[in-house]
A and B are shown apart, each in its own frame.
Chain A
Amino acid sequence: MLTSDARIEVSGAGRRFGALEVFRDVNLAVGEREVLAIIGPSGCGKTTLLRCMHGLIPLSGGEIVIEGSRVAGPREGVAMVFQHFGLFPWKTVFHNVAYGLKLAGATQAEIRDKVPRFISLVGLAGFENYYPYQISGGMQQRCGLARALSVEPRVLLMDEPFGAVDAQTREILQFELLRIWEMRPTTMVFVTHSIEEAVLMGDRIVVLKGRPATVHEIVTVDLPRPRTRATLATPRFAGLREHVWNTLMADARRAELEIVR
């Protein structure tokens, strides 16, 4: 549907680890200002697919093309936010955020100018000199987000970014991310195992299922943006959540029953 101006094109992608085939024949296109949510049961390979998109691990078959060229490794213009935050404990918030810029070859002046701006964008102003162990998990992920945003990526890959924070913090961060995305919309691929999060974030939701996993369904989320807390209360949101739930759970129920028998 968006192939004409697609920023990411995945065609016939498959990945196996030895005898284990994780996913196969995945075909996707992600538009320039599109948020694509990927959801699936744990172990279905959604994170593996995201890592392949980033070039952290190679595909076993097929190809992924970003901005017209085939992905062979991490590249300029693509940044990832990790579930495990991936902050360096020996660097302060400031230096963690500066890390990507430094590696991208930014000058000291650029770093001094940009880092504080991204730190306040994610709401961490005042914590520049704190070490990761001194701040909460939610704040650590804000820092991870600032690090990814500071290189001003055209593609943002989110690997269950709020999977390791508590429920309330997770909600706060979801709306923070929506706010930031409205300010600087980019291509975003958002891997999650939360149905609500997928509906709230995504323009479309890819449901991965099966062993090996394949694209089971692509759900278009026609909720208007900007999305806020009020979006959660709309009947359309509830309808979409039910729909995704049913798609995702149909086989899960059957599998569970089989184990019981």
Chain B
Amino acid sequence: MTAIQQAALAKPERVEPREGMLDSPFVLKLAAGAALLIAWEAVVHAFAPAYVARPSGIARVFAEVVSDRRFLAAAWATLSAVVEGLLISIALGTAAGIAMGRVGTVERVLRYYVNSLFATPMVAILPLLTLWFGYNADARLATVVFAAFFSIAINACDGARSVPLEYLEVARSFRARPRYTLFDVVLPASLPYLLAGVRLAAGRALVGAVVAEFFISIPGLGYFILFNSRTFKHNEAFVAVIVLVAVGVGFEALVGWLTRRYLPWARRDEAAR
């Protein structure tokens, strides 16, 4: 590396204040988590009946539950529905959102309805979806898509609309065809917004799948939780909750990692805003 390159890369070193053990965010988080678990255990031990979930109980049944074939089947059913619904929503939501963001007529026609449906609680529409699709996995998939689609469309629309005019001017200057510009300029420029939409949509999709299972009573983590709660197996039910949390957190981390790895410029962009 030449001296100029090094100079270009050199960043001012941050001066960190001296830290004691309690200033370390990791130690703090761990301590808070431990305190919470101890408090939970103590309260349940002191006041609740034996079947109520508690940390020690969950730890006892955890390995057994997660290796149980029915549990794995339930997890697979829920998570594959979430992934499938998300993929459908990303494809449709990106297309609809970018059309709204770039074509004024499409925006004027759709914006009001997209915003209204985004604000509609998916629980309210679930009974209707079961009437249309039946009490089956299709209704769950429809719920997931309904939950995820609108936040992706709205974000893709905002992203497509805020493509800096400079980029479009450069594209015109070099005589790019509009369709080429759509994929080469508008889509990548919208990606940071789109990713924010996908993050939001993932959380909503998980909620949609679980609520649909509560309502429709088809195999899945939601139904697993419902069934075990009703049969006083709260510890077992809680294992499913933990798995759902882990999936949500894991997805966040995955999107963050993909952004850092493949869109290093986008992070920089966000920081500048």
Which A residues are within 8 Å of any B CB, using their own CB? 54, 56, 73-76, 79-80, 82, 84, 86, 88-90, 99-100, 103-104, 126-127, 130-136, 139, 151
Size band of the B side of the interface? 20 to 34
Least Cβ–Cβ distance between B266 and chain A, in angstroms:
8
Known: A76-B175, A103-B174, A134-B8. A89 touches B169 (CB 8 A): no
Among B166, B173, B268, contact of A133 (Cβ-Cβ < 8 Å) = B268
Judge whether A56 and B185 touch: CB under 8 Å: no
Would you mind naming 21 contact pairs between A and B with Cβ atoms under 8 Å apart?
Answer: A56-B169, A56-B172, A73-B175, A74-B175, A76-B175, A79-B173, A82-B170, A82-B173, A86-B166, A88-B167, A89-B269, A90-B188, A90-B265, A100-B174, A103-B174, A126-B2, A127-B8, A131-B265, A132-B265, A133-B265, A136-B8
How long is the Cα–Cα vector from A131 to B260 in the complex, in angstroms? 13
Least Cβ–Cβ distance between A83 and chain B, in angstroms:
9
Known: A82-B166, A88-B185, A90-B191. A74 touches B5 (CB 8 A): no
Query: In the complex, which residues of chain A have a beta carbon less than 8 angstroms from the beta carbon of B173?
Result: 54, 56, 74, 79-80, 82, 86
Quick one: closest B residue to A157, CB to CB? Answer: B173
**Total A-B residue pairs with C-beta atoms closer than 8 Å?**
68
Judge whether A88 and B188 touch: CB under 8 Å: yes
How long is the Cα–Cα vector from A132 to B188 in the complex, in angstroms? 15
How long is the Cα–Cα vector from A126 to B170 in the complex, in angstroms? 25
How long is the Cα–Cα vector from A75 to B173 in the complex, in angstroms? 8
Quick one: closest A residue to B4, CB to CB? Answer: A126
* CB proximity to A under 8 Å, residues B246-273: 263-266, 268-269
Least Cβ–Cβ distance between B218 and chain A, in angstroms:
42
Judge whether A86 and B167 touch: CB under 8 Å: yes
Which B residues are within 8 Å of any A CB, using their own CB? 1-2, 4-5, 8-9, 166-167, 169-170, 172-176, 180, 185, 188-189, 191, 263-266, 268-269
Least Cβ–Cβ distance between B185 and chain A, in angstroms:
7
How long is the Cα–Cα vector from A131 to B267 in the complex, in angstroms? 12
Quick one: closest A residue to B170, CB to CB? Answer: A86
Interface of A is mostly: loop
How long is the Cα–Cα vector from A94 to B264 in the complex, in angstroms? 16
Quick one: closest B residue to A132, CB to CB? Answer: B265
Cβ-closest 10 pairs across A and B: A86-B170, A89-B265, A90-B188, A133-B268, A103-B174, A100-B174, A84-B166, A86-B166, A80-B173, A131-B265
Query: In the complex, which residues of chain A have a beta carbon less than 8 angstroms from the beta carbon of B174?
Result: 74, 79, 99-100, 103-104, 151
How long is the Cα–Cα vector from A130 to B4 in the complex, in angstroms? 13
Interface of B is mostly: helix
Least Cβ–Cβ distance between A78 and chain B, in angstroms:
9
Apart from the given pairs A82-B169, A133-B269, 11 other A-B contacts in the complex at a CB distance below 8 Å: A86-B167, A89-B266, A89-B268, A89-B269, A90-B189, A99-B174, A103-B174, A104-B174, A126-B1, A131-B264, A139-B8
How long is the Cα–Cα vector from A130 to B9 in the complex, in angstroms? 10
How long is the Cα–Cα vector from A90 to B187 in the complex, in angstroms? 11
Query: In the complex, which residues of chain B have a beta carbon less than 8 angstroms from the beta carbon of A74?
Result: 172-175
How long is the Cα–Cα vector from A59 to B169 in the complex, in angstroms? 17
How long is the Cα–Cα vector from A134 to B267 in the complex, in angstroms? 12
Query: In the complex, which residues of chain A have a beta carbon less than 8 angstroms from the beta carbon of B1?
Result: 126
How long is the Cα–Cα vector from A130 to B6 in the complex, in angstroms? 13
Query: In the complex, which residues of chain A have a beta carbon less than 8 angstroms from the beta carbon of B264?
Result: 131
Query: In the complex, which residues of chain B have a beta carbon less than 8 angstroms from the beta carbon of A131?
Result: 264-265
Quick one: closest A residue to B168, CB to CB? Answer: A86
Quick one: closest B residue to A144, CB to CB? Answer: B170
Query: In the complex, which residues of chain B have a beta carbon less than 8 angstroms from the beta carbon of A54?
Result: 173
Quick one: closest A residue to B263, CB to CB? Answer: A90
Query: In the complex, which residues of chain B have a beta carbon less than 8 angstroms from the beta carbon of A90?
Result: 188-189, 191, 263, 265-266
How long is the Cα–Cα vector from A139 to B189 in the complex, in angstroms? 22
How long is the Cα–Cα vector from A108 to B4 in the complex, in angstroms? 30
Least Cβ–Cβ distance between A32 and chain B, in angstroms:
22
How long is the Cα–Cα vector from A257 to B132 in the complex, in angstroms? 76
Quick one: closest B residue to A136, CB to CB? Answer: B8
How long is the Cα–Cα vector from A53 to B233 in the complex, in angstroms? 77
How long is the Cα–Cα vector from A139 to B266 in the complex, in angstroms? 20
Least Cβ–Cβ distance between B79 and chain A, in angstroms:
31
Query: In the complex, which residues of chain B have a beta carbon less than 8 angstroms from the beta carbon of A132?
Result: 265
Among A82, A84, A88, A103, contact of B175 (Cβ-Cβ < 8 Å) = A103
Query: In the complex, which residues of chain A have a beta carbon less than 8 angstroms from the beta carbon of B268?
Result: 89, 133
Judge whether B166 and A103 touch: CB under 8 Å: no
